[in-house]
Structure 1
Amino acid sequence: MRAGRPRWPSHGCGTTDAEHAAALDAAGRIAAYLTEQGFPEPLRADSGNGAHLLYRIDLANDDAATEVVKGVLTTLDTLFSNDVITVDTANYNAARIWKLYGTLSRKGDSTPERPHRRAKILSVPQNIEVVPRERLQHLAGILPKDEPAPRRTGGSIDLVRWLAEHGIAVRSTRPWQGGTLYVLAECPFSGAHKDGAFAIQFANGAVFAGCHHASCGGGAQRWPELRAMYEPREKRKQEAIAGAKVEENPTPPRPAPAPDEYRERAFAILQHGDPLTFLLDTFNKSHVGDRTVAECLAMSIASQSVENTKGLHVAISGNSGKGKSHACTTMQNLIPEAYKLTGTVSDKALYYDDDLRPGTVFLFDDTALSDDLQEVLKSATTSFHEPIIHRTITADRQLRVCSIPERCVWWLAKVENPGDDQVMNRMLTVWIDDSAEQDARVLEHLKRTEASGSTRGDDPDVLTCRALWSIVKEHRIFVHIPFARRIEFSNAANRRNPAMLFDLIKCHAALWFLQREGEETDGETRIEATRQDFDAAARLYGAINQEGGGQESKMTRNEAAALVTIARMGWETFTVRMLQQATGLSYHQVRRILQGYTAKGTTYCGLLEKCPAVSVVDATVLDESTGIVVRRHELHFQFDAEAYREWVAQTAVWLEDEGGGGLPAAFWRELQHA
């Protein structure tokens, strides 16, 4: 099957470079869509004037199979053709002449504007798989063929007027089954993609709306949902009552709450409740413990709505299997679908993803960041409120400008440091709880979950959290800290960490923006931070600086645990072997913890560089265990307990009283207890 042959509206001659590029670009979008629909990777080719996507099918050569293929091409034509490119619907039959790749396409005269080009194969998959029959049938039937029954309400809807009144832009229109199909300029159902949404008004007045993306309904009827998004509830209620009067057998209402009820509940929490506690409690319904991790992730999301912040990005470290990934995905589940991106991406893939939107959360799970991705992350933190621009040259030597949207945050989950020092200095560094007590709590939670039986559908609290974040993301919030001059740090050597504390204060305040007096200026909500915001930020800042200063030194959980073990054993001098036996880790792991290592050109520092209490000497040891005196070199590590205690105490932050009263003693007690 030669499914999807984007070409140009006929000119009687070849294509311009712009038309040719548009066809190749459309082929890429169609191939991506077909992959989403369950199609295997196609053979991709350049016809010289357009683009080809070749898929292998295994159907009988009969009328039924011909209709299926014809339906597939008709669907693709309906969803992707526009005034620039057209999907060729004529190549549905088996007896079809096709381009011989390697030959010159000689349509019309060759001119500088419309030159002849050679047809060529662009890519061939390693295995050319057969498209499953059911996937072909599904795609052929994704658009309604028959008129649905009209909605019985007090009056019919003029769809084109309704779309215009509600500001829903239409990209193109065309006749469809006796009615009119409107291809929408942007998808109103999801921010994860722009194209794919459509609406149809049939001859009998019935309306069908949907999106062709499988992740966004896959062509299912979504007209009632679309109306609910744009029409006031009272109007819909009155129409429903009017419709019930003429309906002989009315369908009983569904018990599930309408989507806007979650939004109303979210508004109530933002206006009168404790938004952060609600978010963390909902997080803990699925993920046990790790409240500090969850709070850092929540502050990171909130930073996307704060105008005067450079964004908060999060690096989570901990041993494998202890819940780093689960913590991140659980928090991601609380934000709207359109604002999250997970998985592995290549160095430049982020630039070419046209579906990314401002305020997306990137999760890199146990992924070693390449040098290029680390540079992207540095750019994201330096120019948080501006897109990151990448300029490249296409195969036909045309300049292409790509970008990553503004206000995106990065979450890195890895056993060890995910990047170099310049990257880590830009991150909130937090440890997953890998204690034996946490293991027991997780097991008990798993038992309760399995004993309670499976549940269907999303938790109402999760849906409310998504609505809450949607509301926050709709606002740009400027937070003034009137007491900023009174904030003191016991150690400000790393200049980025004080800035992070200020950002934590602002982000905490942003979650309470509907409970603070503020003013609207040029689309910006301006509020003031309070002592409550400072106390919450200082508590979190202290939590991520526990056990030797994880935030200050960027230590991993294993490195911090090694220091605690050394201090507890009371060693002044120790070897790798001694620490290995005390921690239960491998010799290789302990040596890396102490001395660091280099991998793929990136140097990862160890405790010798991070902690001033640890040093090393190269000693000569006499071994007489075999009766023969053997001299060998051995590294002896030295530990200064007093220097370690001073280093631990360097992470204090406090708010001077109006009269300059200094650091409260209670705060020191809390710090030492932590």
Structure 2
Amino acid sequence: MIKEALAALFSGGVVEVRALGDYATHSGYFDDFTKLAACAEALDADPEVRGIYVTLNEVDPALLARRANRVKMRLSRSDATTSDADIVRRRWLPIDLDPVRPSGVSSTEEEHAAALRRADAIALWLDEQGFSKPIRADSGNGAHLLYAIDLANDDDATALVKGVLATLDALFSDDAVTVDTANFNAARIWKLYGTCSRKGDNTPERPHRRAKVLSVPEERTVVTAERIQAIAALLPTEAPVTPALAGSKIDLAAWLSEHGLAVRSKRPWQGGTLHVLEDCPFSTAHHDGAFAVQFPSGAVYAGCHHASCGGGVQRWPELRDRYEPREKRAQRRRREEVPPPPPKPPAPDPAYREKALDILTRGDPLAFLLDAFNREHVGDRTVAECLVMSLASQSVENTNGLHVSVSGNSGKGKSHACTTMLQQVPEAYRLAGTVSNKALYYHDDLRPSTVFLFDDVTLSEDLQEVLKAATANFRERIEHHTVSPDRKIQVCRIPERCVWWLARVEDPGDDQVMNRMLTVWIDDSAEQDERVLRHMKEQEAWEDDGDDEDPDLPVCRVVWEVLKEERLHVSIPYAEKVHFSATTNRRNPGMLFDLIKCHALLHRFQREAYDGGIRANRDDFAAAARIYAAINGESGGQETKLTKNEAAAMETVAAMGWEQFTVKTLQDALGLSYQQTYRILHGYASRGMTYSGLLEKCPAISYLDTTVTEDCEGYAVRRREHLFLFDRETYRRWARGGEVWIDDSGGDTDRDDGPGPDRDDTFSISARFQQNFSTCREDQRTRDGPETDSTSTDRETRLSLSTTLQQNTHPHSALSPPASGCAGGCDIRNAENDPAMLPHRGDNPDRPSSTPPLNSSTFRKLLKTAERKGPTTLPGVLDHREFTRTKTDLGRCSVCDEGRAVYRSGDGRARLCERCYGRLVQAWNERRGIA
């Protein structure tokens, strides 16, 4: 039987035989078929061998030298077998009919017989299509058909074979027998007839059978490429795009059932669903062959594979006209395209409306909303302002909408901030609770101006596309076609003027999503932790019922209902006078203008009106620019797109004065783990999302893969090290981001290389370090003279959010332990009572300028206390931002009295080594909640 099979399959050439066992693979190459048959017979006698196979197509003769006319038992990893590139030409089109059954077992007699019957049906149909007679074979568990072909081994031939198998699978596979569509590759191995197929154990119900040839045509006739192409192209692979079909939004399965067209089987097809019809609706001469496909877009394709019915041409318009008159179809389309009007919300309490109108006409609506927010959620004022502006954008006619991405470390209040603000939104305009990345598809009652909150969910690619479309087309309704779990077409309609709030640990990886959103960081500093804890304690101490709703919340909802009653056009009369020092990201200036419009909208009853709109004033610019500065500095990375940890890493590198650094040195300064620091620099991938790191985001950071030689116990040890380079000047230009100001002189001062004119209404969006660097540090360099390592530049006098915060809020007050519990007066509050413990602060208004400096003995006492007590106490008395790195010889460190001093304070009286200065920076990062 083996020799007869070889004679039927091959007329010469080299053939690989491959035996698959439980624990090993055996292989050999043969041009002597007598030896091949003998070796195959010996392998077949081994009960550990589950199946013996041969390569069907013509193999490169050079492969004979791998294992010439012999079988090597138990191939190693270095032993190659035949790959697709080793095939010279395609000689066979293989069709494998496999009965559906559990994996790893042989088929029953019934299943085996069903596969053989299905092979007969396919052979008969292909014969009608002009195919030649095939070799029919029994695989042992199913059935085989082998058609002789003569094709080159190239991509076109692979596509043809793949298309034929896909067509046969769509038309003939069902729940009992399937066509194996994986047999399209050129090096596919095939069961050697005459050998035994051993899947699972040999049982009476599921016995092991010997594969065998059932019939061989008298003459081997090659099927032409044109015949193969006709079958491969029988079913559509892409949705029809004709105008008559593009608007089809019906449920095909329901339509077929409604009109009495029985479906024999259905299966997934090209992302949609293929329905094989029981009877052909186009002809009474035959019953089988008709099909209908619905693609993910909703488009429908129908036809019949019989030549008398067009051989698979598109006949859906004809089929629909026959069963559904055009008048009835038009009525259906009108019902589908015009959604029912949303129910009107109940009228608010007149007292609430009266108070809301009073606030809108004579009060400060923004302050009222923010105060209500902060009674429930402590801090995060900038986050709340961004959310309020996002809501206001829904009522501005001429805006692209403002959407918000809130990021921060887990457990720091992102979700609570968003849900607290969501409580102020009328219930009809928000989704109840949060939504997952799929739940949006199942909301049929969405109305315009809805708020979507996605809380710590991974945005799938599908949903990111919806989000991009919705944010790019804020004023228009969008439609998105998807497939429901039961494989039915489902249309997701997003109403116009919806806003999206994302609360996530990290920002989304898609830059197109981030560029359309206000990116704001949650406050996760240690000071904020203290404030939250204090607020929790106050709530727990209340004796009344703390679960009652804030009485101002209903008023907040009425405020929004009043603002949503009418959409207004907002004009910015001074828009041409607003200037930006950086306009590389073209969406950011538009966001500033939208913030101005939204602030004016909140005060619409207090602004100058014109027909159909209102005019924004300078107060609106001031409020918008303050928010804009915050999300580009202390509270967000709007311009740089940095996360809070990334921004802290950049500030740390700049503060340390490094020109080169490693992951380990940055780790020590940040106080993070090695893996966290590595991810900040290189980025990472998670749940199918790619998050960029500083190497991709920041042009000031570059990377070298170096080899370092170290002396280890008298031996030179070489190891690889990732070395990062930092370009200070590039960072200065990039991190300053830009500034916004109003120039009444009318000059065009927009530029990317520096600030505009000094004005009281200028708002800096420079990075926190950069602002400090450009004032305190540069002033120090001017005093230091030529001995410093950098040249000074002109002093900037911009209003910086970071500078404002530094002047009004001491960074250590919430961190220090009680004064009574600190030994030696290292606590900052004890230090305030002891002039000897305070260093000179120069021009810092938070510290008396007459305070004498700390001497070296006091520094060393503090260091020893710190090492004995645990956490370093130096940040309580020293501020690293008052030190400058120098290249001059400063002597020993004032603190440890051991290391060489490389940093000097502004007054020149304190000197720190690299290690002590690094401890200051690390503690500074810890206080800001870097994790």
* Cα offsets for 1:603-627 (capped at 9, x unmatched): 3211122222222222211132354
Aligned to 1:53: none
Residue 551 of structure 1 is aligned with which of 619, 638, 643? 638
Q: Does 1:403 align with 2:493?
A: yes
2:756 paired with 1:652: no
Answer whether contact 2:577 2:744 (CA < 8 A) is retained.
Answer: yes
Name the structure 2 match of 1:475: 566
- Aligned AA (2:615): E
Contact 1:311–1:407 (Cα < 8 Å) also in 2: yes
Secondary structure of 1:634 counterpart: strand
1:505 aligns with 2:590: no
Q: Deviations for 1:591-646, whole angstroms, at most 9, x for unmatched residues?
A: 11111123344332111222222222222111323543221211111223333333
Residue 304 of structure 1 aligns to a residue in which SS? helix
Partner-residue secondary structure (3-state), 2:524: coil
TM-score relative to the length of structure 2 = 0.44
Q: For residues 387 and 621 of structure 1, do their structure 2 counterparts lie closer, same or farther at Cα, with a shift above 3 Å needed? A: same
Note the 1:101-140 alignment, pairs <5 A. 113=259
- Report if the CA contact (8 A) 1:548-1:647 is conserved: no
Q: 2:680: which partner in 1?
A: 593
Residue in 2 that maps onto 1:236? none
User: For the structure 1 residues 549 and 607, does the alpha-carbon distance in structure 2 shift closer, same or farther, using more than 3 Å as the test?
Assistant: farther
Please, which of 655, 665, 669 is the counterpart of residue 798 of structure 2? 669
* 8 Å CA contact 2:466, 2:480 repeated in 1: no
Work out the CA distance in 2 between the residues paired with 1:435 and 1:458: 28
Read off the aligned partner of 1:381 and give its amino acid letter.
T
The 8 Å contact of residues 306 and 506 in structure 1, kept in 2 or not, is answered as: yes
Deviations 1:459-496 (A, max 9, x none): 11111111111111121111011111111111100011
1:368-447 paired onto structure 2 within 5 Å:
368-391=458-481, 401-447=491-537
Change in Cα spacing, 1:399 to 1:625, as seen in structure 2 (3 Å) is closer
The answer as to 2:457 corresponding to 1:457 is: no
TM-score, with length taken from structure 1 = 0.60
Contact 1:547 1:648 in 2 (8 A): no
Distance 1:488 1:452, change over 3 A: same
Which residue of 1 is the match for residue 778 of structure 2?
Answer: none
Provide the identity percentage. 60
Deviation at 1:293, TM superposition (A): 0.7
Aligned with 2:689 (options 602, 605, 612)? 602
Closer, same or farther in 2 for the Cα pair 1:492/1:631, shift >3 Å?
A: same
Structure 2 CA distance for aligned equivalents of residues 547 and 569 of structure 1: 19
Which protein has the larger Cα radius of gyration, Structure 1 or Structure 2?
Answer: 2
Aligned residues: 431
Residues 155-182 of structure 1, C-alpha deviations (whole Å, 9 max, x = no match): xxxxxxxxxxxxxxxxxxxxxxxxxxxx
Query: What secondary structure is seen at the aligned counterpart in 1 of 2:706?
Result: strand
Q: Which secondary structure state, in structure 1, belongs to the residue aligned with residue 568 of structure 2? A: strand
Distance 2:373 2:447 in 1: 24
Q: Determine the C-alpha separation between the residues in 2 that align with 1:368 and 1:391.
A: 20
SS of 1:455's equivalent in the other structure is coil
Partner of 1:338: 428
Cα pair 2:395 2:566 within 8 Å, conserved: yes
- Distance in 2, Cα, partners of 1:664 & 1:493: 22
Structure 1 residue 418: Cα displacement: 1.8
- In structure 1, distance between residues paired with 2:258 and 2:798: 79
Alpha-carbon distance between aligned partners in 1 of 2:618 and 2:257, rounded to the nearest angstrom: 72
CA contact (8 A) 1:549 1:651 kept: no
2:353 aligned to 239, 263, 269, which one?
263
Note if contact 2:577-2:746 (Cα within 8 Å) is conserved in structure 1.
no
Would the alpha carbon gap of residues 548 and 352 (structure 1) be closer, same or farther in structure 2, given more than 3 Å must change? closer
Q: Which moved more, 1:355-364 or 1:296-305?
A: 355-364
Shift of 1:565: 2.0
Q: Helix, strand or coil: the match of 1:320?
A: coil
Shift of 1:398: 8.9
1:641 to 687, 709, 728: 728
Indicate the residue corresponding to 2:583 in structure 1: 492
Deviations 1:29-74 (A, max 9, x none): xxxxxxxxxxxxxxxxxxxxxxxxxxxxxxxxxxxxxxxxxxxxxx
What residue ranges of structure 2 are gaps of 5+ in the alignment? 1-255, 267-339, 750-755, 763-796, 805-931
Change (3 A) 1:393 1:447: closer
In 1, the alpha carbon distance for the partners of 2:723 and 2:717 equals 18
Distance in 2, Cα, partners of 1:280 & 1:546? 21
8 Å contact kept, 1:374–1:419: no
> Please, which of 278, 284, 287 is the counterpart of residue 374 of structure 2?
284
Q: Secondary structure at the match of 2:474?
A: coil
Aligned match of 1:569 in 640, 644, 656? 656
CA distance in 2, matches of 1:261, 1:187: 26
* Structure 2 CA distance for aligned equivalents of residues 279 and 578 of structure 1: 45
For residue 614 of structure 1, the aligned residue among 696, 701, 707 is: 701
Distance in 1 between residues matched to 2:341 and 2:461, nearest whole Å:
35
The alignment's C-alpha RMSD in Å is 2.9
Match of 1:307 in 2: 397
Counterpart in the other structure of 1:629: 716
Q: What are the Cα deviations for residues 422-471 of structure 1, in whole angstroms up to 9, with x where unaligned?
A: 11111111111111111111111111111123334321111111111111
Q: Equivalents in 2 of 1:456, 1:434: separation in Å?
A: 26
Match of 2:412 in 1: 322
The answer (yes or no) to whether the contact 1:572–1:638 under 8 Å persists in 2 is: yes
Q: Distance in 2 between matches of 1:392 and 1:325?
A: 28
Q: Given the superposition, is the C-alpha separation of residues 386 and 186 from structure 1 closer, same or farther in structure 2, using an over 3 Å criterion?
A: closer
- Residue pair 1:270, 1:514 contacting (<8 A) in 2 also: yes
From the superposition, tell whether residues 625 and 605 of structure 1 become closer, same or farther in structure 2 (CA, over 3 Å): same
- Superposed CA deviations along residues 303-337 of structure 1, whole A, max 9, x for unmatched, are 11111111101111111111111111111111112
Matched AA of 2:473: S
d(CA) in 2 for partners of 1:620, 1:399: 57
Q: Structure 1 residues 329 and 111, CA, compared in 2 at 3 Å: closer, same or farther?
A: closer
Match of 1:407, SS state, is: coil
* Code of the aligned partner of 2:693: G
Cα offset, 1:352, TM superposition: 3.7
Once residues 112 and 467 of structure 1 are traced to their aligned partners in structure 2, the CA distance between those partners, rounded to angstroms, is 47
Contact 1:270 1:512 in 2 (8 A): yes
- For residues 549 and 365 of structure 1, do their structure 2 counterparts lie closer, same or farther at Cα, with a shift above 3 Å needed? closer
Which runs of 5 or more residues in structure 1 are unaligned?
A: 1-109, 121-184, 191-225, 230-257
Query: For residues 473 and 505 of structure 2, what CA distance do their matches in structure 1 show?
Result: 28
- Alignment match, 1:532: 619
Give the secondary structure class of the aligned counterpart of 1:650: coil
1:29 paired residue number: none
1:537 and 1:313 map into 2 onto residues whose CA distance is 15
Question: Cα distance 1:367–1:459, how it changes in 2: closer, same or farther (>3 A)?
Answer: same
CA distance in 2, matches of 1:457, 1:549: 33
The answer on whether the counterparts of 2:521 and 2:636 sit within 8 Å (CA) in structure 1 is: no
The whole-number CA distance in structure 2 between the counterparts of 1:281 and 1:548 is 19
SS class of match (1:553): coil
The CA deviation at 1:116 is 7.8
Contact 1:369 1:419 in 2 (8 A): no
Q: Residue 189 of structure 1: CA displacement?
A: 7.5
> 1:649: how far off?
2.3
Secondary structure, aligned partner of 1:295? helix
Q: C-alpha separation between the residues in 2 aligned to 1:112 and 1:428? A: 49
Q: Which amino acid aligns with 2:440?
A: L
CA distance in 2, matches of 1:558, 1:582: 12
Between the aligned partners of 1:111 and 1:425, the Cα distance in structure 2 is 46
Give the distance between the partners of 1:396 and 1:460, measured in 2 at CA. 46
What amino acid is aligned across from residue 663 of structure 1 in structure 2?
A: P
SS, match of residue 428 in structure 1: strand
In structure 2, the residue matched to 1:163 is none
CA distance in 2, matches of 1:532, 1:651: 21
